[in-house]
A and B are shown apart, each in its own frame.
Chain A
Amino acid sequence: GAGVSQSPSNKVTEKGKDVELRCDPISGHTALYWYRQSLGQGLEFLIYFQGNSAPDKSGLPSDRFSAERTGGSVSTLTIQRTQQEDSAVYLCASSQGQNYGYTFGSGTRLTVV
């Protein structure tokens, strides 16, 4: 597609449940990023994929968070045993490289009740 696609756009889940968030980047973009945007706060880096290299997981807040990128394209962010503090907008972005800036998706708004 023309842009970065994220699904679902909204997700309400009960505390303790697992959730999966999907990101479909722009075709040909080798870099893929996940960020989290909480109310009144900036964007918090979560994880970065570049080609076939090992992902940079340094931003993942706990071991309940994991992500994978299959075939160098679609990525899934999984949050296990969700907590209320996980409520946020999860943003995915892709890029052709560091000098090109990011193209962001519309995000998934996660609400944990």
Chain B
Amino acid sequence: AQSVSQHNHHVILSEAASLELGCNYSYGGTVNLFWYVQYPGQHLQLLLKYFSGDPLVKGIKGFEAEFIKSKFSFNLRKPSVQWSDTAEYFCAVLEGSARQLTFGSGTQLTVLP
């Protein structure tokens, strides 16, 4: 079974700092990759997704992620975070033949005003 690793469990940043959240997966075949965000008290929302093509994908609210196949990574980035980005972020992977997403354990981001 594949696994998805998010090594940072809790990240604390000041506003305007740059963000990079790590996501690594173990499956060696074709994958579809996702980042979801859960703001406090809200449901999970899709932030961005990668299926094919340009490995640098842009999502909502200024977030982007880069798929690096050789590193089995799909790290999430934002050049300048805001207090409103405080949330939990989940990376998820869909391997080629699977029918459901496998999620990482999540990274709690706290942005200090």
Contacts and interface: CB of A to CB of B under 8 A. Distances in A.
Nearest to B46: A101
B68 interface: no
A81 to B, nearest CB: 26
A40 B107 CA distance: 10
A42 B43 contact: no
Contacts of B82: none
Interface in A29-48: 31, 33, 35, 40-43, 45, 48
B43 A106 contact: yes
B100 interface: yes
Size bracket, chain B contacts: 20 to 34
Size bracket, chain A contacts: 20 to 34
Interface string A37-81: 000111101001010000010010000000000000000000000
B45 to A, nearest CB: 7
A104 interface: yes
10 contacts: A35-B103, A42-B6, A42-B104, A48-B99, A91-B44, A99-B51, A102-B36, A103-B46, A104-B44, A105-B43
Given A42-B6, A42-B106, A91-B43, 7 more contacts: A33-B100, A40-B105, A42-B90, A42-B103, A48-B99, A104-B45, A106-B42
